[in-house]
Amino acid sequence: MSDRLHAAGRDTCERRGYEITSPDEPWLPSSLATPTARASPFVSRSVNELVAVEPLENDEVTPTTLLSRLRNNISHERFSLFVVGSEADARTVHDVLYDPPLVAGEDRHGRRTFYNGPDRIPLAKGGYAAVRTDASPDDLVWREDGTGDDHSLRLVEGTGKADERARTAEAADSGGQTLAWLDGVDGLACPTAEAFPYSYRRDPDDKRFRLRTREGRVVGVYDGIADMRANAYVPLPMPLVPEHVFSGVSSVRDEWAALVVDDARDGADKTPTARVVTAGSF
C-alpha cells in the first residue's frame, strides 16, 4: 500500500504546483516537493518550503513515528505531508499532533499525560531505570502532577490497552499505583539510580544484566530483558516530552498536513480521491 500512498502524495503535490524529486539517500524522505511560482501551499506558512512526502502504513501511524519524522523534517526546514490510507489514520495523526499537541492528554490545569517513546531511561552512572510490576510495558503511564507552574512527574500503571487517552485519564483520576516519581520532566535528563526503585546494567565480564535496588543491592542476574520481564522487572520507557523532542520549537501546528487517500472510484475514473487534513480540521 505504501507505493499507492506514495504515488498519491506525489500526484497531489504536482497538482498543487510542486516539482517532485526522489532523493537516492536512505536518510531522506522518499520524495521531496519543491514549490514553484504557481504552488498552492498546504498551509499559508509553508509557501516557500520544501515538502517531505511521508507515506505511512496503518501500523506506522504511531506517536513515535509521527514525532520522529516531524522533528527530522522541521530540523531541515521541510514541511511534512503524511499520506495515510483511512480517515481513522488521519484522525490519529490529527490527535497526536494537534488535539492536544504532541501529548496523549492534558487536563484543565495543564498537566500532561505523555506518550511512551521507544527509548529507555539512561542513568547518570550507567545502566537504565526499571520497576517491578505485572503491568505490560504499554500500560506504564507517565503523567504530570501538582498545581501552578511546578509539575512533578510520576509513573502509574494504566488500566488496559483500550483507548490510550481514556485509560491514562482514568489512571490519573483514580490516582493509580505510583511506580516512580520525579520533580518534573527535566528530571529525566540523566537521573541517578536512586531516583527509581530498580536499575539494571550489563556486566562487562559475563555480559549478563545485574538488577539492583536503589541502594545498590543486587536482586537478580539475567541473560536478557525477556528474562527480567518474566520475573516482573520492566525497563522504564522514556516519555515523549514535546519540549525535549522539539527543542526550541514553539509550535508544530503549521508544520504538517495529512493526505487521506480513498480507494473509492466512480465510473471510469481510476484516480483515488484524496483529502487534505490540517490542524483543527476535525
What is the CB neighbour count within 10 angstroms for residue 168? 25
Residue 155 to residue 212: CA distance in whole angstroms? 19
pLDDT at 35: 96
- For residues 153 and 218, is the Cβ–Cβ distance under 8 A? no
pLDDT at 147: 80
Residue 210 to residue 197: CA distance in whole angstroms? 14
Residues 6 or more apart from 173 whose CB is under 8 A from it? Answer: none
Q: What is the DSSP string of 126-164?
A: SSEEEEE-SS-GGGEEEEEE-STT--EEEEEE---SS-H
Round to the nearest angstrom and report the end-to-end CA distance of the chain.
25
For residue 239, the cross-strand partners are 116
Which class for 24: exposed (0-12), middle (13-18), buried (19 or more C-beta within 10 A)?
A: exposed
pLDDT at 46: 81
Q: What are phi and psi of 63, to 5 degrees?
A: -55, -40
pLDDT at 30: 87
pLDDT (tens, 9 = 90+) of the chain, 282 residues, equals 589 999 999 999 999 999 999 998 888 898 999 999 999 999 988 888 999 999 999 999 999 999 999 999 999 999 999 999 999 999 999 999 998 999 999 999 999 999 999 999 999 999 999 999 998 888 999 999 988 778 999 999 875 443 444 444 444 554 568 999 999 999 999 899 999 999 999 999 999 999 999 999 999 999 999 999 999 999 999 999 999 999 988 899 999 999 999 865 544 455 567 899 999 998
pLDDT at 264: 55
